[in-house]
Amino acid sequence: MGRVKPLLVLVHGWGLGPGLWHAVRRALPDWPCHTLDLGFFGRARLEVPTGQPLLAVGHSLGFLWLLHHLAQSPWSADCVGLVSIGGFARFGRAADFPHGIAPRLLARMRQRLPQDATGVLRDFCRQGGGLASPDPVVTDTVPLVQGLHWLENWDGRAALAAWAGPVYCLAAQDDAIVPPALTEACFAAERVHWLATGGHLLPLTRPVECGAFLLNILGGGEPPPKPPTLFF
């Protein structure tokens, strides 16, 4: 990445917040970081500093959010690389994307959110990694419903194909939310580096490994070559 340390821009996924990155940031004590907030539990904070090199890192929907805004955002001129952690270029199933998630699953979540938002989020976290965490305080379900709309409809495949810079992808083979087949449908095989376990919420379940993956990129070297299965 050169001599100037790039700013790490960290974007969380659906039903989460900037706190997702706390443990990963502790694994990166010497690197400047800037976390966005997509606003699922309060005011959104989407400003990205410009005028310095940055490495854009998205978890899950966060990576799709980066792709969706890549072409029209000033920060794209400063971006020196894209990193997906449990992310994707498209999530919802389409005629030309059969590995996507069926619309009925997202529709079920949309219907349930107004009556039982805490239960929906608890089930999501359990499916994402079996984490026991305090129930979030949901004062407005509209941002969460909007996020489900993004998941169903946004398509970042063209943006990813047009991106000329490096792309890095870290994923878990036991991810129950973004199955390996979906990951492989979005990324070239040589870009995907696998953890054997960790589920979907890797910044929470495997923060040390996420930090090591980022440090390897930031240190100027490529992630380990194929075979891509990494057992940390």
Q: For position 188, which CATH number holds? A: 3.40.50.1820
Q: Give residues with Cβ within 8 angstroms of 68, minimum separation 6.
A: 150, 154, 156, 159
Classify residue 53: in a domain, yes or no. Answer: yes
CA–CA distance, 92 with 98 (Å, rounded to integer): 9
Query: For residue 119, what are the domain limits?
Result: 7-230
Whether the pLDDT of residue 227 is over 90: the answer is no
pLDDT single digits (tens) 160-177? 999 999 999 999 999 999
Whether the pLDDT of residue 226 is over 50: the answer is no
- Mean per-residue pLDDT, 46-67: 97
- Give 184-192's long-range contacts (Cβ < 8 A, gap of 24+): 184/99, 185/97, 185/99, 185/100, 186/87, 186/88, 186/89, 186/90, 186/157, 186/160, 187/84, 187/89, 189/226, 189/228, 190/226, 190/228, 191/167, 192/228
pLDDT single digits (tens) 112-147? 999 999 999 999 999 998 664 556 678 899 999 999
Classify residue 2: in a domain, yes or no. Answer: no
Classify residue 23: in a domain, yes or no. Answer: yes
Classify residue 191: in a domain, yes or no. Answer: yes
pLDDT single digits (tens) 87-118? 999 999 999 999 999 999 999 999 999 999 99
Classify residue 194: in a domain, yes or no. Answer: yes
Classify residue 63: in a domain, yes or no. Answer: yes
Classify residue 1: in a domain, yes or no. Answer: no
Classify residue 38: in a domain, yes or no. Answer: yes
Write the DSSP assignment of 67-132 as a string of letters.
HHHHTT-GGGGGEEEEEEES--SB-B-BTTBTTSBPHHHHHHHHHHHHHHHHHHHHHHHHHHH---
Q: How many domains does the chain have?
A: 1
